[in-house]
Amino acid sequence: MTDQRFIHSQWSSRLAFILAASGSAIGLGNIWKFPYLAGDNGGGAFVMIYLLCVAAIGIPIMIAETLLGRCGRRSPINTMRALADEAKASRIWGYVGWLGVVSGFLILSYYSVIAGWSMAYIFKIGGGFLSHASSEVAQQVFLDLKAAPDVQVIWHTAFMAATLFIVSRGVSDGIERATRIMMPGLFVMLILLDGYALSSEGFGQGVSFLFKPDFARLSGESVLTAMGQAFFSLGLGMGSIMMYGSYLPVQVSISRATLAVASADTLVALLAGIAIFPVVFANHLAPTLGPGLIFETLPIAFGQMPAGRLFGTVFFILVFFAALTSAIALIEPTIAFLSENLGFNRTRASVWSGIACWFIGLGTVFSFNAWAEVSWFGKNFFELVDFLTADIMLPLGGILMALFAGWIMERTLTEAELGRNRAYPLWRILVRYVAPVAVAVIFLRAIGVL
């Protein structure tokens, strides 16, 4: 086994890991992207394909990433270096850790800005500013928010401060305690919103949009979309799951824990769809607006419905919770690396990581106003960072983590971690052959080769 000098705190239980890892996976994409993709690509037929992709691609890679973390017991960068040395493999594998940490850090820089919008909307909806608003008014409110860099910086700062407050308190007193509160709270709010949607006139239409199988709308492109969503929805390839795996006690089953996380992630996406689309259809609004669905369409819907102000506020608190639990996981690998390699205490590592991430996030803020016309390779700052991370770095990270766990690590080590059972040979086949090829297809599609 590897040197344990840099071991960090551990989760107090299997449940603590499941809640934290679920928080890492569950984010803004679960709230709007999965339900929209499902409805636009065959409803229940897409959901079936998605679940198969989660089982064949997402879960095997998540097991691999968690496995790497628990074997290394360090930040992803130091874990990959140590495991490569142990396997007598090239130290180039250490750059897989860098790929994950840097991508997660860059994602948080713009994720914080968008999450700040959700914080702003808690007060916009709760304060009644969008009650009975027309589509033109709702659209203008959102455009005004994006056009005001000073306002965005305030909310970006507030969200980053909330993230740093939690992570600076450590694994047990910070991350674990926060996710023990926020994750059950997230599910309670989703159930409340689903109950509210049940009373709306559009409930039947919304559920049909999400779940009714329409195989005529299921194409090869739909299958590729399901593959991509299965990978990205679980938050793989960015080192967060590896970092959380490093805190996992040895007696906890990695396979069972990751299955629980994947199930929770999918359940939240489905519950979000049940909450959102009945409200949208009840108000005869378009369900296919992507991010605009949250910040333009839903405020109109909530503003027209009984008790809409209350439930609209609950919805944006839900979005904030989902974003915050993901943000914690995105910055944790950077904090761990600074603590291990530069000797920073937890507070100092959190502050310096947060300041750097906040500063980079200003590029995203200005992408919607002052720098809107500035472009690199035809993309503004936000679009470029999003492309580099989501379309290039994350798929590459996922492929390489799967290959390392499946081909480079000794079979005796992976068997010892996962257990000698009937599921192990299946995982080994999936992580060595199926998952890397599938993610390679996702990568090639993202860069325009397919």
DSSP per residue, 98-141: HHHHHHHHHHHHHHHHHHHHHHHHHHHHHTTTTTT--HHHHHHH
The answer to whether 177 touches 184, Cβ cutoff 8 Å, is no
Most confident residue range from 123-132, 252-261, 293-302: 252-261
Cβ atoms of 442 and 270 closer than 8 Å? no
Pair 409, 63: CB distance under 8 Å: no
Domain parsing of the chain, residue ranges: 14-446
Rounded to an integer, what is the distance from CA 46 to the centroid of its chain? 20
The domain 14-446: what is its CATH number? 1.20.1740.10
Q: Which of 181, 110, 145 is nearest to 327 (CA)?
A: 110
Which residues fall within 8 angstroms of residue 446, CB to CB, at 6 or more apart?
228, 390, 391, 392, 395
Residue 1 has pLDDT above 70, yes or no: no
Q: What is the average per-residue pLDDT within 132-150?
A: 92
Report the b/e string of 30-62 with b at 16+ CB within 10 A.
Answer: bbbbbbbbbbebbbbbbbebbbebbebbbbbbb
User: What angle, rounded to 10 degrees, do the helices at 394-403 and 435-446 form?
Assistant: 160
Q: What pLDDT, in 10s, does the model give residues 347-398? A: 999 999 999 999 999 999 999 999 999 999 999 999 999 999 999 999 999 9
pLDDT in tens, 107-132: 999 999 999 999 999 999 999 988 88
> Which is more confidently placed, 210 or 59?
59
Determine the Cα–Cα distance for residues 56 and 163; give it in Å rounded to an integer. Answer: 33
Chain center to CA of 290: 16
284 versus 321: the higher-pLDDT residue is: 321
The pLDDT tens digits for 257-269 are: 999 999 999 999 9
User: Rounded to 10 degrees, what is the CA torsion of 68, 73, 74, 80?
Assistant: -30
- What is the C-alpha separation between 445 and 437, in angstroms, rounded? 12
Q: Show Cβ contacts of residue 54 under 8 Å, excluding neighbours closer than 6 positions.
A: 230, 233, 234, 262, 266
- Please answer whether residues 350 and 168 qualify as being in contact, where contact means their C-beta atoms are separated by less than 8 angstroms: yes
